[in-house]
Structure formats: structure tokens, C-alpha cells
Copies of this chain bind each other. A is one copy, B any other.
Amino acid sequence: MSILSKLSFKDQAFKLRENAILDATTAILRDKGFDLMTMDDVASAVGISKPSLYKHFKSKEDLVGEAMIRLIDGAADFLAQLDKNLQPIEILSAMLEWALRVRLEGGMPFLPSTSAHVREMLMRNLKYVGRVLKLNHQLEKLVAKAQKSGDLDASLPSDVILFSYYSRTCDPAVEFLQRYSKLDNEQIIKHMLQVCFAGLGTKQPH
């Protein structure tokens, strides 16, 4: 039984419309960012009026929060569905690869890196913070294991590894390469993974 079949037809339509609103929100956030995205933009992209939009989401902050939550849920689902026999470093690499691919295909705005203002807004959203903390906890454990096994540099503080890892998912180099280089998406992903884990240089032992 699908998740939708539990709901009445009316509620199904409602859910579908909410998803359409979140799709439009994601696309506009990616193109314009939070500050420049207006509720008029979203309403007209979906083809509804602004008061109707406010029936679904009580504020701009709420709307963006829900869009970000859907994003985090996608990442958590991907992680949950990975082969449990993979090494921690392989899981981390696969997660980053997934995030880069989603982003290159036009899905992901990754707002938290954008500005302190947006970050604070999201941090006030308890539902969002809960999802983030849970995912962060899983990734922390993977980083610790990979450091112990020698796949990640054990001389670096785990904070440095984790924050740098997150930053790679929203690295502006991706957009620059997509716009100004002749590399295709798969080549960009391959090189970004290489740069993340092996760096720009030819490593000397330390």
C-alpha cells in the first residue's frame, strides 16, 4: 500500500501541490538565494496566488525550512539505503558524490553556507535542526571510523574533516567549473572527489 493511498483524494491533491510548491522553491532558491526569492516568485512559478501559498506555508521562513528539510531527508534516505558492507570512507565518498550529482542536476541550493542570516533562521527551525543533528551524528561516526582505519588523515582534528567535508557539497568551484570549463558533470564530480580526499598537491608524508 503506497503512502498516498492512506489519504483521501483531496489530501492527495494537497500533498501533490505542496510538493510542487517545494520544487519551485528549491529551484528559485538555487537561482536567486533566500534574500532575493520572493513569495510572489514562488506563487507565480506554481501558478497559484500568494494568499493560497500562505495557506500552505505560514511564512517565507517556514516554506524555506520545509524545502531544506526535504533536502536533508533525501540525503538521509540515500545514506540509509547504501550497502552496509561498504567501508566508512566509501560511504563518505558515495554521499559526497550523491550530493554533487544532485546539485549539478539542478536540485540543491545548500543555503546554510550562504549567509549567517539564513543559517540563524534555519537554526531556529527545530524540525530542521533535529534532522541535521541526526545526519551529522551518523557522519561523525563514519569520520571517526575512517580516521581509525587510516583512510582519513588521523592527524587532522575531526572537526576540520567534518566541516571541510560539508563545505565540499556546496563548493563554489562546482558552479564555476559547470559554467566556465568544458568538463561534463561526471568529470566534475570525479575531480571534486579527488580534490576533496587527495588535495591539490602531490602529498608528501607528514
Contact = CB atoms under 8 A, between A and B. Distances in A.
A166 B170 CA distance: 14
Interface string A153-164: 100110111011
B32 A117 contact: yes
A39 to B, nearest CB: 16
A73 interface: no
A199 B191 contact: no
Contacts of A163: 172-173, 176-177, 180-181
* Centre residue among A113, A114, A172, A180 by max chain B CB count within 10 A: A172
Interface residues of A, number: 49
B167 A173 contact: yes
Given A35-B33, A201-B197, A166 B159 contact: no
A75 interface: no
Contact of A201 (B198, B200, B202): B198
A176 B183 CA distance: 30
Nearest to A191: B160
A36 interface: yes
Contacts of A157: 181, 183, 191
A151 interface: yes
Interface in A128-185: 150-153, 156-157, 159-161, 163-167, 170-173, 175-177, 180-181, 183
A167 B198 CA distance: 16
Contact of A156 (B114, B170, B194, B203): B194
6 contacts: A114-B115, A152-B200, A153-B201, A160-B177, A197-B200, A197-B201
